[in-house]
Amino acid sequence: MGLPMAKNLLAAGYPLTAWNRTRAKAEPLAAHGAQIADTAQEAFRKASIVITILADGPTVIDVMRDALPALKPGTLVIDMSSTRQDEALTLHQMLAEKGVAFVDAPVSGGVVGAEAATLAIMAGGSAADFERAKPVLTVMGRPTLVGPAGCGQIAKLCNQLIVGGTLAIIAEAMLLAQAGGADPAAMRAAIRGGFAESRLLEVHGQRMLDRAFVPGGQIKTQAKDMDNILIAAKNAGVKLPVSELVTGLYHSILGAHPNADQSAALLAIEQLNPGQRVGDAPDRF
């Protein structure tokens, strides 16, 4: 997702220095006017705003710790990765000790949303830091301040809770229709426009019907997010029974299909129902 997000920043006229742990992933940005750095420190040294989007919290913290000497006091760091709240707060504290501002701003909308600059951006930080970040974030999507530092990650986990649970329910509906003798595709068409309508039913429901599990978002990412949801719930002192069930569902296929699209939740439901299968198309990964 970082590539189209960076392209949008360049198209908006922002000077950009790009760095990736795998340099080849950053090099396509050179054709759009970006400078390509060999190290994170090189990328950060002259920056007034630093944006990170990486695989997980520990990776973000490791990268920022290594590059910390290059950050000037007054720099604003915007982390758009999906991490745990406690990881965001650790990063916030680490940066604050050097006089560096921080906003956690995870996103939802996938690669399509990144390309179209329509990402939902959930921001955590002070009102002043958010106002400073807002013009840059608006180039990539629709930013909303949801609370102090770390709260962006809580909002993203709420988003992933709804996504993960809804995909599991759609998969159950598909299998129930098939097993009960109804056409799953016709069932989906019939309920669209009613209260069950959603972007997930539109996009991932079709993927389930087509058995097209090429990612998109990946099962391993959704499983990580579900784990983080349960950690956040424990830290907040609340019980989320549906999330516990959904977490187990994604973990049940994590070993076999870690890189499959999230719509492969259908495979987890079918695995619980031997002999039942939605449609007769071959699985595509």
Return d(Cα 101, Cα 26) in angstroms, integer: 25
Is residue 106 within 8 Å of residue 152, measured between CB atoms?
Answer: yes
Q: pLDDT tens-digit profile of 84-130?
A: 999 999 999 999 999 999 999 999 998 889 999 999 999 999 999 99
What pLDDT, on a 0 to 100 scale, did the predictor assign at position 264? 98
Kind of pairing, strands 107-108 and 76-79? unpaired
Of residues 112, 124, 120, the one with CA closest to residue 141: 120
220 is catalytic: no
Whether the per-residue pLDDT at 240 is higher than 90: the answer is yes
Q: pLDDT tens-digit profile of 18-43?
A: 999 999 999 999 999 999 999 999 99
Is residue 172 within 8 Å of residue 245, measured between CB atoms?
Answer: no
Return d(Cα 151, Cα 153) in angstroms, integer: 5
Return d(Cα 60, Cα 118) in angstroms, integer: 24
Please, which pLDDT band fits residue 217 given cuts at 50, 70 and 90? Answer: confident
Whether the per-residue pLDDT at 216 is higher than 90: the answer is no
Kind of pairing, strands 35-36 and 119-124? unpaired
Residue 192 DSSP code? T
What would the mean pLDDT of 167-184 be, rounded to a whole number?
Answer: 98
Of residues 101, 96, 99, 153, the one with CA closest to residue 124: 153
Q: pLDDT tens-digit profile of 125-143?
A: 999 999 999 999 999 999 9
Identify the structural domains of the chain with CATH numbers, from first to last: 2-148 (3.40.50.720), 154-271 (1.10.1040.10)
* DSSP alpha helix (H) spans, 144-214: 151-179, 184-191, 199-210
The one catalytic residue in 7, 72, 156, 220 is 156
Q: pLDDT tens-digit profile of 33-79?
A: 999 999 999 999 989 999 999 989 999 999 999 999 999 999 999 99
